[in-house]
Structure formats: C-alpha cells, structure tokens
C-alpha cells in the first residue's frame, strides 16, 4: 500500500506520555517499584570523537550509571564515513573505545549495521567481539533473550536493514549488500517472532519505517516488508536510526522510536507530525517492566526532553 502522509497523520495515535519539560537527568518516569530492565539506544555515532559525539557519550554514561543500564543497543552507522577496513582500523579506538569509556558503558553493546558500515567492511565488525567482549555482533541479524522478572522475558531482535533498501542494490560503494538475502532474513524474523515465548518483543534496525527527518524520511521498503511482520506478531516497539534526530511515533499499537542522533543532528519537518520530534543530538533510554516500558529521550546536555509509556499489549 503506498504511503499517504495525510492518512498517516490522521491515523497517528497520541502516545500515552509524560512530558518532562527538559529537566536535567530526572528520576524514573514513574514511582513504581517493579523490577525493570534498562538499556540505552544510540545510532549514527562514530565520528572519531567529534565534540558532539563526546557530549552525547558523556551524558549517556551519566544516565546509564544512575539507572543501572544492563546494555546498550547501537542502531547502526557505527563508523563514518566509510565504516572500518580491518580489526586494526583507528576508528575502533578513536570512535568507540576512547569515547564510550565511562565505567557505566563497559556493558554489552548489541550492534546493528547501517549503510555507512556497509561502505567499509562489515566482516571486521562481525569479528571484533571475539576479542572485545562488550561488542556483540555475532551475525548480521540475531536475537537475544533477557529475563526481566522470574515470570517475564524480553526478546530483542536485531536486523540488518540495508539489504531491504532498493537503492543499495548494485551500488559499487556498498558492494556487500547485494550478497545478502533479504527474503531469508524476513523468513527468520517471521518464524523467530512466532516461536518467541517472551512477553516483550522489541525489534531494532538501522532504517526506520516512518520518520519526519528531512534527510531521509519514510523508508518504503521497511514499511512494505518489515512493518507487516511487526504488526502480525504484536511487537511493542521498533527502534531505528538513519535520520539524525530523535522521534517517537505511534502507529496503532506499535511504537516507532528513532534514535539516530549520536553525533550529529539534521532538520525535521515543521510543524511536527508525531507526538515528539526534535532536531538535536542525543540518545534514548528504555526501561522494561511487567506492565509497561518507559522511554526517555535525552539531548547532549543531559536534559530529558520527552518521556512516554509503551504499554504491554497482551492481545494474541
């Protein structure tokens, strides 16, 4: 079905949310005492320790320490402009190890690949975790199960969205894309979501479905191929990057979260067409409990720009 922007806006449901008015590093979104699994989401970040990247990294370290984050998710474009070329590439130190050096960030980083990663060599990124334990990228797409409480699990599904994008096929600068099998990945996602017994199912990829970013915007191939699978299996949220901004959209029961501002920001549509959108550098924190997931958007100064509750949908 072709995308119609007016129809999408009409169908955009206002999120169940609490706006925090730009408070510095606030406490949890609500005062509940239920056990929670907290993690950070950052995308489009690896710029050899640029000032913007370091500001965001510093604030992410502060928030992850305070909230006892269990892991970080990278939604791709890990190294600009052309990925890495080897396990000894200077990017590893200049863009990752010496930037995200806070003690609170020495936790697992679950990594996805972006188009700028494909502009280099993906294989070193797949191999780096063999000798550096916090870098986790065992395959181009994979899943991980976490125990939120003794009675509730979270399963995260990490996608490689570049092979879905038509313009990347037969692009000599992204030559590795054409060797991937997008249908096999879609079959894996469909069957893995179907087999999952986790109450919470979250999916992560570089390219968003819908986006208000002016640089890229909506990604038709993700809308066509991935979105129906997310809706079919009642995934609660899809996290992405690619557009260098922060945004929360809600499509029926599915929350769409863009966190692509790890080291740079770009213009967005004005007026906004989503519950929250902001052209600024920053990151996202998510905290999963039995009944809901708290999602908070932070800028590079550590201000909590916006917060929302993602409700756990028990409908089969």
Active site residue 312: no
Is 295 buried (19+), middle (13-18) or exposed (0-12) by CB count in 10 A? buried
Pairing of strands 152-158, 200-204: parallel
Q: How far is CA 176 from CA 106, 125, 186, 206, in A?
A: 30, 13, 18, 16
Alpha helices in the chain (DSSP H): 5-11, 51-67, 91, 115-118, 122-128, 182-195, 220-225, 227-232
Query: Cα angle vertex 137, ends 133, 139, to 5°?
Result: 140
Question: For residues 41 and 262, what is the distance between their CA atoms, to the nearest angstrom?
Answer: 9
Give the active site residue among 216, 233, 234, 312: 216
Q: How far is CA 131 from CA 35, 137, 159, 233, 255, in A?
A: 32, 12, 23, 36, 35
- For residue 278, the 8-state DSSP code is E
Q: What 3-state DSSP class applies to 309?
A: strand
Question: For residues 161 and 300, what is the distance between their CA atoms, to the nearest angstrom?
Answer: 27
Q: Which residue numbers are catalytic?
A: 216
């Amino acid at each position: 079905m072709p995308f119609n922007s007016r129809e999408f806006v009409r169908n955009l449901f206002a999120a169940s949310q609490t706006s925090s008015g730009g408070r510095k590093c606030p406490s949890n979104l609500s005062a509940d005492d239920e056990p929670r699994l907290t993690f950070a989401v950052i995308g489009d970040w690896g710029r050899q320790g640029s000032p913007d990247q370091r500001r965001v990294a510093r604030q992410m370290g502060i928030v992850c320490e305070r909230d006892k984050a269990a892991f970080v998710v990278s939604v791709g474009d890990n190294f600009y402009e052309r990925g890495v070329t080897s396990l000894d590439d200077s990017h590893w130190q200049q863009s990752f190890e010496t930037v995200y050096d806070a003690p609170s960030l020495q936790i697992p980083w679950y990594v996805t690949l972006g188009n700028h990663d494909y502009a280099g060599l993906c294989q070193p990124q797949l191999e780096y975790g063999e000798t550096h334990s916090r870098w986790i990228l065992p395959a181009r797409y994979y899943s991980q199960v976490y125990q939120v409480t003794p009675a509730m699990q979270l399963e995260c599904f990490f996608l490689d969205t570049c092979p879905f994008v038509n313009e990347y096929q037969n692009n000599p600068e992204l030559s590795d894309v054409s060797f991937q099998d997008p249908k096999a990945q879609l079959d894996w996602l469909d069957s893995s979501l179907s087999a999952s017994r986790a109450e919470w199912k979250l999916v992560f990829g570089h390219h968003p479905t819908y986006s208000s970013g002016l640089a890229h915007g909506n990604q038709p191939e993700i809308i066509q191929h991935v979105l129906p699978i997310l809706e079919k299996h009642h995934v609660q949220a899809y996290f992405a990057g690619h557009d260098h901004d922060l945004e929360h959209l809600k499509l029926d029961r599915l929350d769409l979260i863009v966190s692509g501002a790890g080291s740079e920001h770009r213009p967005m549509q004005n007026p906004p067409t989503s519950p929250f959108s902001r052209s600024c550098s920053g990151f996202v924190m998510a905290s999963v409990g039995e009944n809901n997931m708290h999602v908070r958007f932070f800028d590079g100064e550590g201000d909590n720009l916006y917060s929302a509750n993602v409700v756990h949908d028990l409908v089969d």
